[in-house]
Amino acid sequence: MALMTGEEYIESIRSMDMKIYMFGKRVENPVDDPILRPSLNSVRMTYDMAQLEEYQELMTATSPITGERCNRFTYIHMSNEDLVKKVKMLRLMGQMTAACFQRCVGLDAFNAVFSTTFEVDKKYGTSYHENFKKFAALCQDKDYTTDGAMTDPKGDRSLPPHKQTDPDMYLRVVERRPDGIVVRGAKAHQTGMCNSHEVLVMPTVAMSPEDKDYAVAFAIQADADGVFMIIGRQSCDTRKLEGSEIDVGNSEFGGVEALVVFDNVFVPNDRIFLNGETDFAGMLVERFAGYHRQSYGGCKVGVGDVLIGASAVIADYNGAAKASHVKDKLIEMMHLNETMYSCGIACSAEGSKTESGNHLINLLLANVCKQNVTRFPYEIARLAEDIAGGVVVTAPSEADLRGEFTGHYVEKYLRAASGVPTENRIRILRLIENLVMGAGAVGYRTESLHGAGSPQAQRVMIARQGNLEGKKLLAKTIAHVKE
């Protein structure tokens, strides 16, 4: 099958029977729901961009599994150059949508599961790697979007999965049958699940032998029996119901998260990629986290490009672009943004080949990349708010801008630089608001902190990967210390 167009993708999601709940009720038509549709549009862009000739090398690649050209969001990285192209692709998509385009998690899960299953099979003689290759080939051939699902609710964080008061706080196998397994539990914060054809489930922590039922990885269709989603709230999300293009800030694109419940879901044997091999749960988590922390050096940088651009525009509109402190703030924003990008490129260029043949990023540098991403977007957002001024949160609504009585006053008193229409100024202000504190902040600011693991998770990996003992030896050698 050829690469899907954006419109074909939309219709493929429309044909599915996903169980999606929002505000206490089932969403009967999620494709056209005004709150959900912007997130669908963001994914659509990953299909539309792959159709454009100038982006073919960035957005598509020849699959090592099928030998056919596929969307790079379904690809297995076979070189460090592939890893670099991934980061560049994610930056481009961030620039095009100024939102979370949601396919990174599935891509990162693909590559982590690919290499891990190879090593599980090597040790235990299982057939997980072949199972996964067949699944990946299906997704590449059909051009499917896959949601990567790792984060469990976790319950009491001080306890491992098997000691939880409620055993469903981590997704687990509740029944093993000759033809497959039955699983129960939930995955939290699932970005893009309601826009996906498939879901690829992984464990969320390293595990001991007592956690055997929780060491499970598999794939099922997003509309499988027993799977349903509860959409998360976002700041300003109901503005999308008001019919105002301006007040939303980014009216075309966005992202949504869901709590995904697996209520006794059957998984056939050929869709299972890990089933009780607890000694490989940590490897899968570590590799997925590394790939996903690399991703943030691309996607958040692309969205940052838009926010920096909006900050420069509002400086022009406010008549403040020539002020030295404004220029310096824009320089600082660019410096921070390019530093994140540099880390994403560095961990890609320093990648290495796994036993399975695909390439893994440099884990230390990937975690350094994400540690920077937990901080720099907050400073970029702060500087954007500083440059925009207080009106970024006090501007009247579009209804007041258009109002028969109020419109004249809004036009008169919110005009700034000569020749700049008041409407244009408000549009840019709303875009900044969207990215730093509105619905868009979920996919930029807050996701920069918690996506791919909290800041402490990266610090643990940096401590583990940083080779402190080796550095101590360097110092002792230079100082001629003998012990």
Domains of the chain: 6-277 (2.40.110.10), 284-474 (1.20.140.10)
Calpha distance 425→408 (Å, rounded): 15
Whether residue 74 contacts residue 64, with contact meaning beta carbons closer than 8 Å, is answered with no
Radius of gyration of the chain measured on its C-alpha atoms? 23
24-58 per-position pLDDT tens digit? 999 999 999 999 999 999 999 999 999 999 999 99
Calpha distance 204→150 (Å, rounded): 5
Residue positions annotated with a catalytic role: 100, 104, 191, 257, 292, 296, 299, 447
Calpha distance 377→337 (Å, rounded): 8
* Mean pLDDT confidence for 101-118: 98
For residue 87, which phi and psi values (nearest 5 degrees)? -60, -40
Calpha distance 59→294 (Å, rounded): 17
Beta strands in 357-436 (DSSP E): 359-360
Percentage of the residues of the chain whose pLDDT score is greater than 70: 100
pTM over 0.75: yes
339-386 per-position pLDDT tens digit? 999 999 999 999 999 999 999 999 999 999 999 999 999 999 999 999
191-221 per-position pLDDT tens digit? 999 999 999 999 999 999 999 999 999 999 9
Question: Residues 6 or more apart from 144 whose CB is under 8 A from it?
Answer: 74, 138, 196, 197, 198
pLDDT at 1 over 80: no
Q: Is residue 114 helix, strand or coil?
A: helix
Which helix H or strand E contains 216, and what residues bound it? strand 216-221
Q: What angle do CA 117, 121, 125 make, to 5 degrees?
A: 155
Calpha distance 85→59 (Å, rounded): 9
Calpha distance 248→99 (Å, rounded): 13
